[in-house]
Amino acid sequence: MSSDVHEPLFWLAHRADPSPGTLIRFTSDGDEGDEDAEYEDPDPSTADLVARLRTVDTATIDAAALRAALQASVDTAMYWQEPDGTDVIASHPDVIAALGPIAELIMASEATRGWDAPRGAEQWAVDWRSPDDRAPLPSDSRALLTAWSEQRRAEEVRAGLERPADPYARWSGTWWSVPTELLLTRGVIADALELVEDSMGWEEATIIPVRGSGRTLEIRTDEDWAQLCRQYPLEVTASTRHDWFRVTGRDGRWLIPDWARVAGGWDAVHLSTLAYLRCATTLIEIDDEYASVIGGWAPDSTIWLTDGAREWDEPRQHWARPQNADEWTRQDGSNGGVTTAANRPGV
């Protein structure tokens, strides 16, 4: 991010954040006699930020910058708390208007050409363990979905009995809206390693080649998700009320798809990267009574509802990264055994 934009955004976001925390400053001694001078925070206005956004050098928005922005968006996705200060400022109408031309330029670029593509034939699953701890891919999807459905229904009944109806109450529950036990695959290895919500900071991963067949439902817009909820509704109001109220500010009834029933018509469901950016963490209206949230689902990822996918004939790959580092490196590749995910656009 340009420093011209970062500074006013930082201070505006700090003031708008519902839990801003404490700023720690390191300052040198002032001139003699000024040791007791008070430090004054910068006080930019939204108009100042908008003015700087309108002068952004768009030539600096290259594939690497877009990748970093996409990764930051996934890293900061939160479904259990209020929007932070940056989210609040980004939702200001004047800021949205200033970002419009930049967004149009981004969507016209070569780097975003595949963001709305359907599921590709070549897929990759990730197991956050070393290849020495070999484990099979998830299977018996019907049993997994049956168990998931029973668990969600039981949690909803229990939440209705035990949790307060006041959406402001400090409760939290199951905020994700997809079954996490099923096989999930990605179209790009780098995405599987880097674009991970609520990451646990893993330092090793096994990448597994996967091929699948069958009917794939494409989620490209919020209406696609809303229609899925209308066709296969599963009410989760009591169990998601407090989390999703904090995220969206809406006090009402909530639905997610009943994935066990969805599996009767579809083998897989794919969320495109563009759909993730459009829909994740946002309020999706279903009708006058119900709404939903797409939570816990990564960009360009496919959830397999049936056993239509299997491990392919290619070898598994071992990837690792140093502690607290961002860059993943393939440990068993060519080029001396070192291949970097970030530098392999097609990976």
**Looking at residue 341, what is its pLDDT?**
59
**Looking at residue 342, what is its pLDDT?**
54
| Polymer length in residues for the chain | 347
Evaluate if pTM is beyond 0.75: yes
Instruction: Show Cβ contacts of residue 149 under 8 Å, excluding neighbours closer than 6 positions.
Output: 234, 258, 259, 260
Domain boundaries, the chain: 3-112, 123-343
Distance CA 226, CA 209 (A): 31
Would you give the DSSP letter of residue 347?
-
The C-alpha torsion from 11 through 15 and 19 to 21, rounded to 10°, is 50
Q: Beta strands of the chain (E only): which ranges?
A: 123-127, 184-186, 204-212, 216-219, 233-235, 253-257, 268-271, 284-285, 290-292, 301-304, 309-311, 317-320, 329-330, 339-340
Asked if residue 191 lies in contact with residue 298, where contact means CB atoms within 8 angstroms, the answer is yes
**Looking at residue 39, what is its pLDDT?**
66
Query: Which regions in the chain score pLDDT beneath 50?
Result: 33, 36, 334-338, 343-347
Q: Is the dihedral of CA 93, 299, 150, 173 positive or negative?
A: negative
Three-state DSSP state, 196: coil
**Looking at residue 335, what is its pLDDT?**
39
181-191 pLDDT per residue, tens: 999 999 999 99
60-98 pLDDT per residue, tens: 888 998 999 999 999 999 999 999 999 999 999 999 999
